[in-house]
Amino acid sequence: MSFHRFFFVLILLATFVPIAEAGKENGELNLYKDPILEFESARQIGLCPGLRNWGDERDSPDLRNDMRNWHCQGRYSLAIEGSKGKMVTLFAGFNYGKERGYLIVRKLDDKKVWVPDLMIFPANQWVSLPPEDGHIEEYGSFEIFFSPSPNFDQKVSSLKWGRWWKGEIPN
């Protein structure tokens, strides 16, 4: 009887572990939405959960459909996992509209990338950032392009994976 249990567990592990690892290879985006003011966090507990995960590189033309807390006031930050070269763009406009600003992040290694502040980058130019030692884990290097708009970090409304523009620099 114990052999059958062992065999069953072995089959389950062989089936589900590669599926979980495949998500990391394809790319995974975590969007965090933190309250703007500290006193808001206690008020929003339960009402505005601050995390949304995209594990399948699925584009989203309208985050209102994908994030229950999209209407809550807050600032976004992001983390990306996956292999070198993965790229995602956050748009402040719906349906990938560029007129309200956008932010492109491209991974330069296989480590997790974390961008805690979306608005600190220079306007309309590519910037490369080296790997960084975090408090708990080491973060990878990445390139970022920011087309600014007022309060961009509060207005993220759509996201698109991969390269969507022609030429070297988006316009």
Q: Averaged in consecutive runs of 10 residues, what is the pLDDT profile of the chain (171 residues)?
A: 49 43 61 72 53 80 78 87 94 95 97 95 96 84 97 94 88 68
Detail the DSSP E strand segments found in 64-157.
Answer: 75-81, 87-91, 102-107, 113-115, 126-129, 132-133, 138-139, 142-147
Residue 24: domain span: 2-161
Q: Can you give the pLDDT at residue 18? A: 40
- Give the chain's domain count: 1
Pairing relationship of beta strands 102-107 and 87-91 according to DSSP bridges: antiparallel
- Per the domain annotation, does 168 fall within a domain? no
- Per the domain annotation, does 32 fall within a domain? yes
| Cα–Cα distance, 144 to 127 (Å, whole number) | 5
Q: Which amino acid is at 15?
A: T
Q: Can you give the pLDDT at residue 62? A: 92
Q: What are phi and psi of 142, to 5 degrees?
A: -160, 165
- Per the domain annotation, does 167 fall within a domain? no
- Per the domain annotation, does 59 fall within a domain? yes
- Per the domain annotation, does 169 fall within a domain? no
Our CA dihedral for 82, 89, 117, 132, rounded to 10 degrees, sits at: 30
What tokens appear for 22 in the block?
């495949």
What tokens appear for 141 in the block?
């290097």
Detail the DSSP E strand segments found in 46-165.
Answer: 51-54, 75-81, 87-91, 102-107, 113-115, 126-129, 132-133, 138-139, 142-147, 158-161
- Per the domain annotation, does 113 fall within a domain? yes
- Per the domain annotation, does 140 fall within a domain? yes
- Per the domain annotation, does 148 fall within a domain? yes
